A and B are shown apart, each in its own frame.
Chain A
Amino acid sequence: MTIAPTLSVEGLSVEFRTRGGTVRALESVSFSVEKGETIALVGESGSGKSVTAYAVMGILDPAGRVSAGRAMFGGLDLLAAKPSQLADVRGREIAMIFQNPRTALNPIRPVGRQIADVLIRHGNVPRREAPAQAIEMLRAVGITDPTRRAKAYPFEMSGGMCQRVMIAIALAAKPSLLIADEPTTGLDVTTQAVIMDLVNDLAKELGMATIFITHDLALAGQRSSRIVVMHAGHVVENAPTQELFEHPLHPYTAELIAATPDSAASLDELASIPGSLPDLRRADLPPCRYSERCPRRIDACAQPLPRPAPGASHIVACWNPLTAKPLAMRTPTESAA
Chain B
Amino acid sequence: MSDIAAPARRESGLGALVRQARYVISENPVTGFAFALFVLIVLAAVLGPELVPYDPLASATSEALQPPNAHHWFGTDQLGRDVFSRVIVATRLDFFIAVASVALVFLMGGLAGVAAGFFGGWTDRIVGRIADTIMAFPLFVLAMGIVAALGNTVQNIVLATAIVNFPLYARIARAEANVRREAGFVEAARLSGNSDWRILTFQILPNVFPILVVQMSLTMGYAILNAAGLSFIGLGVRPPTPEWGIMVAEGSAFMVSGEWWNATFPGAALMVAVFCFNLLGDGLRDMVDPRRRT
Asked if A and B touch directly (CB within 8 angstroms), the answer is yes
Interface residues of A (CB under 8 A from B): 16-20, 44-46, 63, 276-277, 279
Q: Once the chains bind, are A277 and B4 in contact (CB under 8 Å)?
A: yes
User: Does chain A have a CB within 8 A of B192?
Assistant: no
Chain A residues with CB under 8 Å of B292's CB are 19
Most buried by A among B3, B7, B23, B292: B3
CB distance from A106 to the nearest CB of B (A): 23
User: Does chain A have a CB within 8 A of B1?
Assistant: yes
Of B1, B2, B3, B7, the residue contacting A20 (CB under 8 A) is: B7
Q: Once the chains bind, are A276 and B4 in contact (CB under 8 Å)?
A: yes
A19, B27: Cα distance in complex, Å: 10
A330, B204: Cα distance in complex, Å: 54
CB distance from B31 to the nearest CB of A (A): 16
Identify the 6 closest CB pairs spanning chains A and B, nearest first: A18-B294, A46-B2, A45-B2, A276-B3, A277-B4, A19-B294
Give 7 CB contacts A-B under 8 Å.
Answer: A17-B294, A19-B292, A20-B7, A46-B3, A63-B294, A276-B3, A276-B4
B279-294 Cβ-contact flags toward A at 8 Å (1 or 0): 0000000000000101
Q: Once the chains bind, are A277 and B294 in contact (CB under 8 Å)?
A: no
CB distance from A45 to the nearest CB of B (A): 4
A63, B293: Cα distance in complex, Å: 11
A277, B3: Cα distance in complex, Å: 7
A45, B1: Cα distance in complex, Å: 6
CB distance from A212 to the nearest CB of B (A): 21
Cβ-closest chain B residue relative to A273? B3
Chain B residues with CB under 8 Å of A279's CB are 4
A277, B23: Cα distance in complex, Å: 28
A235, B222: Cα distance in complex, Å: 58
Chain B residues with CB under 8 Å of A45's CB are 1-2
Cβ-closest chain B residue relative to A46? B2
A18, B294: Cα distance in complex, Å: 5
Chain A residues with CB under 8 Å of B1's CB are 45
Q: Once the chains bind, are B294 and A46 in contact (CB under 8 Å)?
A: no
Q: Once the chains bind, are B4 and A16 in contact (CB under 8 Å)?
A: no
- 4 more contacts with CB within 8 A, not counting A16-B294, A277-B3, are A17-B294, A46-B2, A276-B3, A277-B4
* B window 47-72: CB within 8 A of A: none
Cβ-closest chain A residue relative to B27? A19
Q: Once the chains bind, are B2 and A277 in contact (CB under 8 Å)?
A: yes
A16, B2: Cα distance in complex, Å: 17
CB distance from B156 to the nearest CB of A (A): 46
A46, B2: Cα distance in complex, Å: 6
A186, B4: Cα distance in complex, Å: 23
CB distance from B59 to the nearest CB of A (A): 57
Chain A residues with CB under 8 Å of B7's CB are 20
Chain B residues with CB under 8 Å of A63's CB are 294
A44, B7: Cα distance in complex, Å: 21
CB distance from B4 to the nearest CB of A (A): 5
Chain B residues with CB under 8 Å of A19's CB are 23, 292, 294
* B window 1-44: CB within 8 A of A: 1-4, 7, 23
Cβ-closest chain A residue relative to B293? A19
Chain A residues with CB under 8 Å of B3's CB are 46, 276-277
Most buried by A among B1, B2, B4, B23: B4
A212, B4: Cα distance in complex, Å: 25
CB distance from B268 to the nearest CB of A (A): 38
Cβ-closest chain B residue relative to A18? B294
CB distance from B5 to the nearest CB of A (A): 9
A277, B2: Cα distance in complex, Å: 8
A63, B294: Cα distance in complex, Å: 8
Cβ-closest chain A residue relative to B294? A18
A330, B23: Cα distance in complex, Å: 54
Cβ-closest chain A residue relative to B23? A19
A16, B293: Cα distance in complex, Å: 13
Cβ-closest chain A residue relative to B7? A20
A285, B3: Cα distance in complex, Å: 18
CB distance from A315 to the nearest CB of B (A): 25
Chain A residues with CB under 8 Å of B4's CB are 46, 276-277, 279
Chain B residues with CB under 8 Å of A17's CB are 294
Chain B residues with CB under 8 Å of A20's CB are 7, 294
Chain B residues with CB under 8 Å of A277's CB are 2-4
A18, B23: Cα distance in complex, Å: 13
A276, B294: Cα distance in complex, Å: 22
CB distance from A123 to the nearest CB of B (A): 38
A52, B190: Cα distance in complex, Å: 43
A44, B294: Cα distance in complex, Å: 22
A277, B5: Cα distance in complex, Å: 10
Chain B residues with CB under 8 Å of A18's CB are 294
A42, B7: Cα distance in complex, Å: 27
A279, B4: Cα distance in complex, Å: 7
CB distance from A49 to the nearest CB of B (A): 12
CB distance from B274 to the nearest CB of A (A): 32
A17, B3: Cα distance in complex, Å: 20
A279, B6: Cα distance in complex, Å: 10
Chain B residues with CB under 8 Å of A46's CB are 2-4
CB distance from B2 to the nearest CB of A (A): 4
A16, B1: Cα distance in complex, Å: 19
A44, B2: Cα distance in complex, Å: 8
CB distance from A277 to the nearest CB of B (A): 5
A148, B243: Cα distance in complex, Å: 66
CB distance from B244 to the nearest CB of A (A): 40
Chain A residues with CB under 8 Å of B2's CB are 44-46, 277
CB distance from A182 to the nearest CB of B (A): 13
CB distance from A18 to the nearest CB of B (A): 4
Chain B residues with CB under 8 Å of A44's CB are 2
CB distance from A223 to the nearest CB of B (A): 23
